[in-house]
Amino acid sequence: MSTKKLWRLLALLFAFALIGAACGADEAVDDAVDAVDEAADDVADAADDAMSDEDEDHSDDDSMEEEDDSMEEDDGAAMADTGSEEAAPSCSGESDGQLAIGGILPETGNLAFLGPAEFAGAELAAAEVNAAGGVLGQDVLWLEGDSGDNGDVANQTVDRLIGDVDAFLGAASSGVSFTVIDKITGACKIHFSPANTSPDFTTKDPNELYFRTAPSDVLQGRVLADLIVAEGAGTVAIMALQDPYGEGLLKYTQEPLADAGVEVVESFVYDPKAPSFDAEVEKMVAAAADAVVVIGFDETSSILTGMFEAGVTPDTTSMYLVDGNIGNALGEKFSEAGILSGIKGTLPTAQLGDDFKNRMLEVDPELIDFSYGPETYDAFIIMALAAEAAGTDDPAEVAKRINGVTGGGEKCTSFAECKELIAAGTEIDYDGPSGPQDFSQAGEPTEASFAILSYADDANTIDDSLTEFRFAKIGG
């Protein structure tokens, strides 16, 4: 019998007892009281049973939560979630009718070499959006800001701009973004990075306000491992800077190497701010591997110099870099022409046409690299298109439209073209210079193009004629 029914019976018996007392029926009263006591005991027993059942239910819930946590830790499963359902931010933002975007991009710090292309990408996007009539009938406001290479600088920038913007563009460093993401999304502002690649971001943001145009290192690690395997290395030594980017890329490079039967004879993380890398270089040299991989930032020039002096050179060992250190900016640190010849590296990027490069150069004629410039440009355009689709600059409403404008509709490749389609009530699929984005529910690309870059024989610059492109897709 349910506890609800027992309580009803208890109330009925109590009423009979009162009637009996009023009529002077002592025996009836005694019988009724006994029945009431018995019913009360039944109610107590039923309540205990119900609590026990509830505890079992909670135990089942805990088991399900543990299973959910286990599933979230499986990056492959999380990354494979490519459903088209739009994000639903749990906050309510504000709108003043003008979309404002603040930058947290590397003007200073050990990723400053990426800054010029990223700033140029944002400035170009802002100019082209405003030339096409802006968003919601007003010019988009672009407010530059420095991320530095630590949380102090980035947090100062966020604190300065957070009251004036709807979204932040940056940071380049995954580690830096982790220091500000909670502050940004907690204030119901969009956090959109053009260069974060740490796999940890896939499940990081509970407010569903974080997005990125850079693919997770689940993909870059696979591409890098495939390159190493294809070039015949049997043993590999890997060193990676100690931060979410370095640790994530190290993990997702090692795993496919092991699956392919390549032995990783040495792997470790290092402090990128260490005064010297002699000990780390010694470990890499002692490994005597067929190939070495350096996952780092600006400090890579010091690490390579140490390796060269110890006899590990591109002539003796296959050497590989990644998006954090490959490029012409690294070559400027070496005076001996051609010393980097033979070194290869991976960079998430589509094949850039001359038109886009020329437009970037009009913004900054001194650009020597375009790394993450296209991704910055696309992140800006995607936010502008999402605001047009939402009909507001309220960050929570804009965020709901971001995934949708990257796939599932009619193809378009410029803000002006896509804006016209939106005005006509047409769903769009924006593809920009960084390639098709096709965001997953986590707000990140499900597919990406990677360039395999190589240095020239007679100069410390990237030889474009040697560049290869490879495509990778989640679940592909």
Q: Token pair for residue 33?
A: 């009281």
pLDDT, position 437? 87
Q: According to the 3-state scheme, what is the secondary structure of the chain?
A: CCHHHHHHHHHHHHHHHHHHHHHCCHHHHHHHHHHHHHHHHHHHHHHHHHHHHHHHHHHHHHHHHHHHHHHHHCHHHHHCCCCCCCCCCCCCCCCCCCCEEEEEECCCCCCHHHHHHHHHHHHHHHHHHHHCCCECCECCEEECCECCCCHHHHHHHHHHHCCCCCEEEECCCHHHHHHHHHHHHHCCCEEEECCCCCHHHHHCCCCCCEEECCCCHHHHHHHHHHHHHHCCCCEEEEEEECCHHHHHHHHHHHHHHHHCCCEEEEEEEECCCCCCCHHHHHHHHHHCCCEEEEECCCCHHHHHHHHHHCCCCCCCCEEEECCCCCCHHHHCCCCCCCCCCCCEEEEECCCCCHHHHHHHHHHCCCCCCCCCHHHHHHHHHHHHHHHHHHCCCCHHHHHHHHHHHCCCCEEECCHHHHHHHHHCCCCEEEEECCEECCECCCCCECEEEEEEEEECCCCCCECHHHCEEEEEECCC
- Inform me whether the pLDDT recorded for 456 exceeds 60: yes
pTM exceeds 0.85, yes or no: no
- Of 48-57, 201-210, 262-271, 350-359, the least confident: 48-57
Residue 49 clears pLDDT 60, i.e. is over it: no
Q: Give the model's pLDDT for residue 207.
A: 84
Q: What is the pLDDT of residue 230?
A: 97
> Would you state the structure tokens that stand for residue 281, as one six-digit string?
């270089």
The per-residue pLDDT for range 212-226, each reduced to its tens digit, is 999 999 999 999 999
Whether the CB-CB separation of 220 and 79 falls below 8 Å is answered with no
> pLDDT tens digit string along 392-423?
999 999 999 999 999 999 999 999 999 999 99
> Using an 8 Å Cβ cutoff, are 471 and 445 in contact?
no
Q: How far is CA 50 from the centre of its chain?
A: 44
Confidence at residue 439, expressed as pLDDT on a 0 to 100 scale: 95
Q: Computed over its alpha carbons, how large is the radius of gyration of the chain?
A: 30
* Mean pLDDT within 190-199: 97
| CA dist., res. 368 & res. 364, Å (int) | 10
Share of the chain above pLDDT 90, in %: 77
Residue 14 has pLDDT above 90, yes or no: no
- The mean pLDDT value for 246-260 works out to 97
pLDDT at 474: 79
Confidence of residue 476 (pLDDT cuts 50, 70, 90): low
Q: What's residue 163's pLDDT?
A: 97
Q: Which residue has the higher pLDDT, 202 or 22?
A: 202
From 284, 344, 347, select the one nearest 320 (Cα to Cα): 344
CA distance 270 to 302: 13
pLDDT score of 333: 96
pLDDT of residue 17: 40
Q: What is the C-alpha to C-alpha distance for residues 428 and 431, in angstroms, rounded to an integer? A: 10
pLDDT of residue 56: 42
- Rounded mean pLDDT of the chain? 86
| CA 329 to each of CA 333, 367, 368, 449: distance values in angstroms, whole numbers, following the listed order | 7, 10, 7, 22
Q: What is the pLDDT of residue 93?
A: 87
pLDDT of the residue at 86: 52
Task: Give residue-wise pLDDT tens across range 51-108.
Answer: 444 444 434 444 334 333 333 334 443 444 444 445 578 788 899 999 999 999 999 9
Mean per-residue pLDDT for 121-134?
Answer: 98
Long-range Cβ contacts of 302-305 (<8 Å, 24+ apart) = 302/277, 303/239, 303/277, 304/340, 305/334
377/360 Cα distance (integer angstroms): 10
